[in-house]
Chain A
Amino acid sequence: MTQPRDPDAIIATWLDDGPIDLPADTRRAIVVGLRTQPRARRMAILRGMPVNPLSRFLAAAAIVLAVGGLSIFVLSNRGSGPGALPTPSPAVSIAPSPSAPPTASPSADPLDTATWKTYVSSRYGFSIAHPAGWAEVPADHDWALPADADWLNTATESFKAPGGAVRVSAWSVSIHPAELLDRPTLTWIANAYCPLNTTPCDRLESRTVAVTMDGHPGSLVQFANDTQAFFLVDGRMYVVACWRPDNDPSVTKYSGTIRLVQTYISTMHLLPGGPASAAPTSPGPS
């Protein structure tokens, strides 16, 4: 003997079953993926304007005339006489080729920092300057692995460009003495830091250039989606990172992330008293 069953109740219960929380791995994949996504252009000027076929034709014709006129002007002035336009010098390309990982190259002089504002991090024991108008986002706890491996962690002293499209982070962490091997900086990056934070982690040397911070030698490494500089001073690693690919449109006005990071570290100085918290927080070598 079976009791009558309510199909709608069964369907409702069946529909409610199932996962309801987006897994952390998927969240992380989305957030990491943001750095590699080209963004659509915002059509602010044309917004709200009526667009009919005639106005489209006129706009297209104006663009063609402008481009054509500019081309003729450039061609007519190329390479002749003292009034000629300068020929563009070959740019140093640091864009990754399909078959090779990205390579870092020393770029031109740092940006002009005359108007930059100095920020002091007593937590991490340094001062550093950032462009005027950038927002300061102070760290709310001491940086440590693996808890703060995510680039959007809140343990770094961060600086956000107006609109938030570019973010530069700076922090420091004591290094476990066992990690002080022959090449401690690259060893720590390759073994302890990179696998949790960024990619690719192989062939670091081919993507590294030597830099200095407050007289201390360090390494500037170009990763696929970010550029980071590392300085090991008295058993403590100081890191400055810009979380964008070097050729990302959002950093074009700063001449790319390599030049931006170089400029940041050119303003960086260690505090005489060291950081407020100097306890070792980095895990040992794996």
Chain B
Amino acid sequence: MRTRLVEQARDGDDVAFAALVDLDGDLCYAIAYRILRDVERAQDAVQQAFLLAWRELPRLRDPERFSPWLRRLLVNACYEEHRRHRRWSSRIWALPVDGPISADPTVSVDDRDTLDRAFLRLSPQHRAVFVLHHHAGLPLAEIAEIVGVPVGTVKSRLHHAINALRAAIVADSQVDSTEARLA
């Protein structure tokens, strides 16, 4: 089904491509948001990725490879969005209203703020690997193909990202414990 749509879209059928947008749009948006932590920039990145996919689709030799190819375009679009807004993002923190507030009590507003700050300190390359693996559930080999680095580099980036986030949570918990004792 998807392969047929890709073939039709590659031949110029925009209705088939619109169907691919329907099929893949949600996951692309979820990935882009989690890399960029910003709703509008994620929307821009998804739009750029799909429009580039439409332009370049005639050059895609194997329709079966559409999904990883599209994710590569998406990740590159996220990098571009990050570069474009770097000066802004260094001064403005994403507000929690960007996404729905979790109903899960294990993640407090403080946790969210701590993780957002720690995550935004990571490079977009580290964020992309982390999101593709832990949110999209992609295997390391496919991530390596998407981001264009060896599997060893993917492992290294993943290790660095998860350690940075864990360290932020642990440090935040220690601060909370100290404040509780002092009170």
| Interface residues, chain A, with chain B CB atoms under 8 Å away | 1-2, 5, 7-23, 26-27, 29-31, 33-35, 37-43, 47, 152, 160, 163-165, 167, 243, 250
CB atoms of A19 and B39 under 8 A apart: yes
On chain A, the residues within 8 Å of B165 by CB distance are 7, 11
Q: Which of B64-72, B75-83, B149-157, B170-178 contacts A (4 or more CB under 8 A)?
A: B170-178
CB atoms of A13 and B173 under 8 A apart: no
CB atoms of A15 and B12 under 8 A apart: no
**8 residue pairs, one from A and one from B, having the closest CB atoms:** A164-B13, A165-B12, A18-B99, A22-B25, A42-B58, A22-B29, A163-B11, A7-B169
Contact partner of A30 among B47, B56, B61, B100, CB < 8 A?
A: B47
A21 and B39 CA atoms in complex are apart in Å by 11
Give the secondary structure class of B's interface: helix
Give how many B residues have a beta carbon under 8 Å from the other chain's beta carbons. Answer: 56
Separation in Å of the A191 CB from the closest CB of chain B? 27
Can you give 10 A-B contacts (C-beta < 8 A)? A14-B112, A15-B135, A17-B99, A19-B29, A22-B46, A34-B17, A39-B58, A152-B15, A152-B18, A163-B11
The chain A residue with its CB closest to the CB of B102 is A17
CB atoms of B107 and A10 under 8 A apart: yes
CB atoms of B104 and A37 under 8 A apart: no
A40 and B137 CA atoms in complex are apart in Å by 32
Q: A31-B18, A164-B11, A164-B16 are in contact. Are A21 and B26 (CB under 8 A)?
A: yes
CB atoms of B59 and A8 under 8 A apart: no
The chain A residue with its CB closest to the CB of B116 is A14
